[in-house]
Chain A
């Protein structure tokens, strides 16, 4: 088994192991700050062990600047090598040889997935061999297993086995079960937005790294800001237009939301929770830009939607009334006018007319008023109608008391070309748009 051991150099939460799931499904975290990965079958996907080690170090140094690592045949070998020769790789079956010249103190690191239960005992072993004038690990391999067992029982046997490559440790697949949450306590309560955003960004970075490792996207982000006084809590909820893992987008959304929160009562702790969902897998083309237009637009639509600004693509709809005949959709949906259809229901026929066929050629104004505006008789007289007969009549179900609209073209005093209709039911005129 080929094992990569990363020494993060400081203690971390066990969930940090999730960051490395992209390198291997078999990941194990052991305190303090040691991550073991079985890379036997995944190294070739990264272009070899050296490339994988570099990538893993790059990922770990995002949060642990002093992280070091090593690759060897066993977890304890990799751990000892990471201390003896940081960022080194021991070739397959050369692990014992590479550790031969290591000092006896490396016995402390010959642990692997399970830490020494009695570190003082290991200390005693090191002292004992030093007294005998033995300085290197390779030198104590000459002793028999019985000598180790008699003097140090289980620990002695384990050390002898490890020194002879006879102990076996297996790294099990890691199934992420921990909730995607991060709780931060601020030593100094914060009432300045940039400071708070800085703290939130760091916390969110950790969660995004976990999402990356788990191969998930964030569907929703919940932030609870706990105030210093009166047990006040602000709750901020973010929902991108489509699930994403884009830190920049999240920060933009958070900034816009928190800008509206009063920070007079300073924040002394906050909690971020992420509701995940499986990521979208897409085949990237070599010639496509790194950030496709779609991602940029998704970001923008999310930001605008959060500000209660409906944003999207215009989509014509098959409806009679012009004000209902369009829609704004967050993603583009192509539209082709349908054909009339006849549905047979038992003995009867039901005609389903498609109004949009005629609409594709019918004159429609470039600007449509959001709501038709009623105009008084005096105002109507100011318009110069271009025809005495209506240009178009729109009727819904005439048998059901249709409103019936007669549309006219008319010029205003200023020269605007207006679209006006006469409502048959209300018997008055409405301004509905402009051919602007």
Chain B
């Protein structure tokens, strides 16, 4: 029966031929990321979560993006590291929900909705330049940032090693190559539109959105004595 393992001499031959092309282990280590806590996605992405020193875009059509960000924020804040959130024009993060998801509110800085696109862009740059936040989330509403702005944000994120996650409800966001990760949240699955070194588009199945809420609902009913 032929053996599948190469013998010692062929290994030596390979090493002689390719030795000059060998690189250090740290050179092939995957780029850093912050875990989302959602197993299938963390396993699929090279960063094992949201990429650090990069800009990600979450296109939230059917919802679920905020919860994913909150799970990641919970993991980071429990580690005594900082996260920041910039509110959108219409909605705000709910602290009661954040508490239930074990987000350490003392490590979450919340910024009110900027008055203009220009101010939002400035706020994000200021937040990153503080060199304090591991993860920053920003609700951009129906408008995704322009390509030049994304490029500038990426530059700043790289300098300060921050994971910047932008949220948009726009159904036609600019698929800029400056985003390292683009996720689309559909009703039945999450589409990975863009991810470094991964075949895209890639579908990740998701449970019904309310599946997470049903246990809460039961607890809520008990709490209210009904």
A contact residues vs B (CB 8 Å cutoff): 293, 296-297, 299-300, 303-304, 307-316, 322, 325-326, 328, 332, 334-335, 357-370, 386, 391-392, 409, 411, 414-417, 433-436
The listed residue (A293, A332, A366, A391) touching B93 by CB distance below 8 A is A366
Distance of A433 Cα from B95 Cα, bound (Å): 13
Q: Is the Cβ of A326 less than 8 Å from the Cβ of B130? A: no
Interface of A is mostly: mixed
Q: Is the Cβ of B111 less than 8 Å from the Cβ of A364? A: no
Min CB distance B160 to A, Å, is 12
Min CB distance B3 to A, Å, is 53
Q: Is the Cβ of B223 less than 8 Å from the Cβ of A358? A: yes
Q: Is the Cβ of B62 less than 8 Å from the Cβ of A415? A: yes
- Residues of A with C-beta under 8 A to B92: 326, 367-368, 370
Contacts known (A293-B132, A361-B222); A309 close to B112, Cβ less than 8 A: yes
Q: Is the Cβ of B96 less than 8 Å from the Cβ of A316? A: yes
Distance of A326 Cα from B105 Cα, bound (Å): 12
- Residues of B with C-beta under 8 A to A322: 94, 96
Residue of B nearest to A391 (CB): B217
Q: Is the Cβ of B123 less than 8 Å from the Cβ of A409? A: no
Contact residues of B between 87 and 120, Cβ < 8 Å to A: 90-100, 105-106, 108-112, 114-115, 119
- Residues of A with C-beta under 8 A to B184: none
Q: Is the Cβ of A386 less than 8 Å from the Cβ of B63? A: no
The listed residue (B64, B105, B186, B224) touching A362 by CB distance below 8 A is B224
Distance of A231 Cα from B194 Cα, bound (Å): 59
Min CB distance B38 to A, Å, is 15
Contacts known (A313-B105, A313-B109, A369-B91); A300 close to B61, Cβ less than 8 A: no
Q: Does B43 contact A (CB under 8 A)?
A: no
Contacts known (A315-B105, A370-B90); A435 close to B224, Cβ less than 8 A: no
Contact residues of B between 144 and 195, Cβ < 8 Å to A: 186-188
Distance of A373 Cα from B72 Cα, bound (Å): 29
Residue of B nearest to A356 (CB): B96
Residue of B nearest to A311 (CB): B111
The listed residue (B95, B100, B131) touching A314 by CB distance below 8 A is B95
Contacts known (A296-B130, A433-B94); A328 close to B62, Cβ less than 8 A: no
Q: Is the Cβ of A409 less than 8 Å from the Cβ of B210? A: yes
Q: Does B40 contact A (CB under 8 A)?
A: no
Q: Is the Cβ of A367 less than 8 Å from the Cβ of B209? A: no
> What is the interface residue range for chain B against chain A?
35 or more
Min CB distance A392 to B, Å, is 7
Contact residues of B between 53 and 72, Cβ < 8 Å to A: 60-67, 70
Q: Does B200 contact A (CB under 8 A)?
A: no
The listed residue (B62, B66, B210) touching A386 by CB distance below 8 A is B210
- Residues of A with C-beta under 8 A to B65: 436
- Residues of B with C-beta under 8 A to A433: 91, 94
Contacts known (A392-B220, A414-B62); A365 close to B109, Cβ less than 8 A: no
- Residues of A with C-beta under 8 A to B63: 415-417, 434-436
Other than the given A300-B109, A409-B213, A414-B61, 15 more pairs (CB < 8 A) read: A307-B119, A309-B112, A309-B123, A326-B95, A332-B105, A358-B224, A359-B96, A360-B223, A366-B94, A366-B97, A367-B92, A369-B91, A409-B210, A417-B210, A436-B60
Residue of B nearest to A310 (CB): B112
Q: Is the Cβ of A296 less than 8 Å from the Cβ of B66? A: no
Distance of A364 Cα from B209 Cα, bound (Å): 14
Distance of A370 Cα from B91 Cα, bound (Å): 5
Q: Is the Cβ of B82 less than 8 Å from the Cβ of A293? A: yes
Distance of A325 Cα from B99 Cα, bound (Å): 13
